Structure 1
């Protein structure tokens, strides 16, 4: 008897990592439906794909459509792109927390959220503090399978130009040989590894709620490759 295929929701599929994740799910035979909730279309066609174009700040109004086995939240901005702190908080805190709330209300048992290395609710750095507060709020929902991924700088080419991030990537790539032992978590990480890790974790369903540092993301992906 054929096992029924799963459904997944992606928030932020038009972004760098979210788009890579979308490609991973579309080619994964375990998934029959991939729902996208975003402001604009990804511009591709697939029988698996179901797009819901909307204002993500109003996503709660679409609760009836927010039904899936797993949810992947890849939304995020930067201080250079969104300098207004209130707007920044509405995106990096407000959207993931609302998404987690919908998961709780609709009995979705698995959520994977991209956070950031250094996330800390007690941090004096605004960016890190917002990410840390978001993590705390998501964890407080007590969704059975909750994974908060904390990548370092994410490699790859983005659609929009981020000069500061580009320079930082170049700097960290040059210093990569020095990032050993406990410093491995600061290495630039490819979006493919983050996306693959999210899929691996979602399919483990270990009933755990935890944070995953950048170097562990790479280890999880490497371990999965070695098993196959």
Structure 2
């Protein structure tokens, strides 16, 4: 029997790649993407719902899925107000987790960040850590947390700093060995592929994936 997937964050670097992969995966007979704007996607298995944090409860009854993929996130440049930033990166993913769990979802796959820690002095890392902690408390059968470092890939908008960082990491990646491997940059498509693959394992418990784990998922 084919499964249903619901994806949040389909307009982002990882989410965009993941959407294409889920639609190509015969395991899914239905792929629901929740976005704030229409996507130019045509596929017999594709369902698009328009919502955000403020309106997510209006489509709650339509969010019935086996696997939930959460790639939500913004940047400080896009969202300089820290309260609004926290809403996008913490409150929205948590609301998604709680809502879909009530609807019977079994697996939740979350994109977080390297260094996530609820006790960190850094706002971003503390926010990501609190998001992981609070979603863990929702108690999915399987919670899979992906902690990539710098993401590489073709972005919709040009980011000068990240373009520069990509070039730097191309040089230093081979120098990061042992436990430092987890800080290597990684293609967004690789993270998406790992999320898609892990969802098919139906493993119970909480799992965290770093660079090595993501690269080695088959």
* TM exceeding 0.5: yes
Give the unaligned 5+ runs of structure 1: none
Aligned equivalents of 1:56 and 1:8: distance in 2?
19
Would you say 1:97 and 2:68 are equivalent positions? no
- Other-structure match for 1:73: 70
Give the unaligned 5+ runs of structure 2: none
Would you say 1:176 and 2:173 are equivalent positions? yes
Displacement of 1:105 in angstroms is: 1.0
Displacement of 1:168 in angstroms is: 1.7
Displacement of 1:56 in angstroms is: 3.6
1:169–1:57 Cα change, 3 Å = farther
Pick from 36, 55, 62 the counterpart of residue 39 of structure 1: 36
Question: Superposition pairs for residues 208-227 of structure 1, below 5 Å?
Answer: 208-220=205-217, 224=218
Would you say 1:52 and 2:49 are equivalent positions? yes
- Other-structure match for 1:151: 148
- Other-structure match for 1:85: 82
Q: Is the 8 A contact 1:10 1:37 kept in 2?
A: yes
Aligned equivalents of 1:141 and 1:60: distance in 2?
17
> Aligned with 1:37: secondary structure?
strand
What per-residue deviation string (whole Å, max 9, x for no partner) do you get for residues 18-68 of structure 1? 010011111111111100111012201000100001234321222101101
What per-residue deviation string (whole Å, max 9, x for no partner) do you get for residues 142-187 of structure 1? 1111111101111001112222222222211111120112111111
Would you say 1:119 and 2:116 are equivalent positions? yes
Q: CA RMSD in A?
A: 1.1
- Other-structure match for 2:194: 197
What per-residue deviation string (whole Å, max 9, x for no partner) do you get for residues 72-102 of structure 1? 0011111122111001000000111011101
Pick from 29, 32, 41 the counterpart of residue 26 of structure 2: 29
Moved over 6 A (4+): none
Q: Is the 8 A contact 1:14 1:40 kept in 2?
A: no
What per-residue deviation string (whole Å, max 9, x for no partner) do you get for residues 119-143 of structure 1? 1100000000000000000001111
Q: Is the 8 A contact 1:115 1:131 kept in 2?
A: yes
